[in-house]
């Protein structure tokens, strides 16, 4: 019995087979139990030797069961380790990290420049009234100057602001001079879209008002901005032009070195001028002078970052956007 039983135990395929075997051999109705029960029928002498032998067998079987159980557990663990193996040296899955849009970067860069020059930063609504966008900026009703800014009107007579200049009006109504302020934001014009024109674009507007603010101050402010953007050698140029809300008015250009050609060239950036007396009258200001200038960010971003088509800014093409993830 013992030899056969030991072989059976040693080759039990799994824990369940081992348990079944234990019941068969050592259980209440098992082979060995029956043998122990049978001892009573023997003589005292025979019972002693036979009993010792049965107990010996029982110990041997117990030991064999324990050994097999341990072996099966080891095998199971080995199998589990193999199947659940994890290669911790594999590179991880990187989460996609977003970045700031390049116009946002340019805005931050410009605001940093103006903050370092002592300017406050203000914003205004994109849905504006005719008063703030036109009338208080000295565009009379029906005046042809309105035609220079093709406007999106809403059914209730409001409009999508065509420039950031209405923020000048709002700021002047809410503050007392002297002050320096810049206002960045989106503006809208009903325009045919092409390489350099979008119906929505961005402007940055500067307004400085005080007792003796002059055109020389204006030129200095524009020059400081241009040098912060394009380096200390940068020059600026003013050429007379007309905007209803300034007198005199000018357009300003910046001399910069085009990295593609290595040559210097004029970059016409925006409009500027001394705040028109009618604008001060509209907001109730007396005995002050001031200047304002404003320009589009897209053009500046196109030349600074080498973007060939304004539509790239807004069509969400990741191949373009991904190129502007690094530092400013």
Residues in Cβ contact with 228 at an 8 Å cutoff, skipping those fewer than 6 apart: 113, 116
Rounded distance, CA 303 to CA 305, Å? 6
166 belongs to the binding site for ligand PHE (CB under 6 A):
no
Residues in Cβ contact with 204 at an 8 Å cutoff, skipping those fewer than 6 apart: 107, 110, 164, 182, 183, 184, 294, 295, 297
Q: Which is nearer to ligand PHE, 57 or 165 (CB)?
A: 165
Task: For the CB of residue 163, give the shortest distance to ligand PHE in the complex, in Å.
Answer: 3
271 belongs to the binding site for ligand PHE (CB under 6 A):
yes
Residues in Cβ contact with 190 at an 8 Å cutoff, skipping those fewer than 6 apart: 150, 151, 152, 199
Task: For the CB of residue 141, give the shortest distance to ligand PHE in the complex, in Å.
Answer: 19
Task: For the CB of residue 90, give the shortest distance to ligand PHE in the complex, in Å.
Answer: 55
Q: Which is nearer to ligand PHE, 205 or 298 (CB)?
A: 205
272 belongs to the binding site for ligand PHE (CB under 6 A):
yes
Measured CA distances, 244 to 134, 158, 289 (Å): 9, 20, 16
290 belongs to the binding site for ligand PHE (CB under 6 A):
no
In sequence order, the β-bridge partners of residue 255 are 235, 266
Residues in Cβ contact with 314 at an 8 Å cutoff, skipping those fewer than 6 apart: 198, 200
208 belongs to the binding site for ligand PHE (CB under 6 A):
no
Q: Which of 106, 205, 226, 236 binds ligand PHE (CB under 6 A)?
A: 205
x/- letters, 218..257, toward ligand PHE (CB under 6 A): -------------------------x--x-----------
- Cβ atoms within 10 Å of 100's Cβ, excluding its own: 14
171 belongs to the binding site for ligand PHE (CB under 6 A):
no
With contact defined as beta carbons under 8 Å apart, do 307 and 291 qualify?
no
Q: Which is nearer to ligand PHE, 159 or 292 (CB)?
A: 292
* Residues 14-18: contacts with CB under 8 Å, at least 24 apart: 14/72, 15/69, 15/72, 18/65, 18/68, 18/69, 18/72
x/- letters, 35..74, toward ligand PHE (CB under 6 A): ----------------------------------------
Task: For the CB of residue 148, give the shortest distance to ligand PHE in the complex, in Å.
Answer: 8
With contact defined as beta carbons under 8 Å apart, do 206 and 221 qualify?
yes
Task: For the CB of residue 126, give the shortest distance to ligand PHE in the complex, in Å.
Answer: 14
With contact defined as beta carbons under 8 Å apart, do 133 and 159 qualify?
yes
282 belongs to the binding site for ligand PHE (CB under 6 A):
no
Task: For the CB of residue 256, give the shortest distance to ligand PHE in the complex, in Å.
Answer: 20
Q: Which is nearer to ligand PHE, 272 or 302 (CB)?
A: 272
Q: Which is nearer to ligand PHE, 2 or 241 (CB)?
A: 241
Distance of alpha carbon 311 from the chain centroid: 21
- Positions touching ligand PHE (CB under 6 A) are 163, 165, 205, 243, 246, 270-273, 292-294
């Amino acid at each position: 019995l013992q030899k056969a039983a030991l072989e059976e135990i040693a080759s039990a395929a799994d824990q369940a087979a081992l348990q079944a075997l234990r019941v068969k051999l050592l259980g209440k109705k098992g082979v060995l139990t029956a043998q122990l029960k049978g001892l009573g029928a023997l003589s005292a002498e025979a019972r002693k030797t036979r009993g010792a032998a049965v107990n010996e067998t029982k110990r041997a079987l117990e030991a064999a069961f324990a050994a097999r159980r341990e072996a099966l557990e080891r095998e199971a663990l080995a199998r589990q380790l193999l199947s659940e193996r994890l290669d911790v040296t594999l590179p991880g899955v990187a989460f996609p990290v977003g970045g700031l849009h390049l116009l946002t970067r340019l805005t931050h860069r410009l605001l940093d420049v103006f903050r370092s020059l002592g300017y406050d930063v203000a914003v205004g609504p994109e849905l504006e009234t005719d008063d703030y966008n036109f009338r208080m900026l000295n565009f009379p009703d029906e005046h042809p100057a309105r035609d220079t800014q093709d406007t999106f009107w809403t059914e209730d007579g409001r409009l999508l602001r065509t420039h950031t200049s209405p923020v000048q009006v709002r700021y002047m109504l809410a503050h007392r001079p002297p002050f320096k302020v810049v206002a960045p934001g989106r503006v809208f014009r009903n325009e045919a879209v092409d390489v350099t024109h979008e119906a929505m674009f961005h402007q940055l507007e500067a307004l400085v008002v005080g007792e003796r603010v002059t055109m020389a101050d204006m030129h200095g402010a524009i020059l400081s901005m241009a040098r912060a953007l394009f380096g200390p050698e940068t020059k600026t140029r003013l050429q007379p032009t007309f905007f209803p809300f300034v007198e005199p008015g000018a357009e300003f250009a910046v001399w910069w070195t085009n990295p593609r050609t290595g040559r210097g060239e004029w970059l016409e950036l925006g409009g500027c001028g001394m705040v028109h007396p009618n604008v001060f009258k509209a907001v109730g200001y007396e005995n002050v002078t001031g200047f304002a200038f404003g320009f589009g960010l897209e053009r500046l971003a196109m030349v600074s970052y080498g973007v060939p088509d304004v539509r790239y800014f807004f069509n969400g093409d990741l191949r373009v956007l991904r190129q502007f993830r690094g530092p400013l």
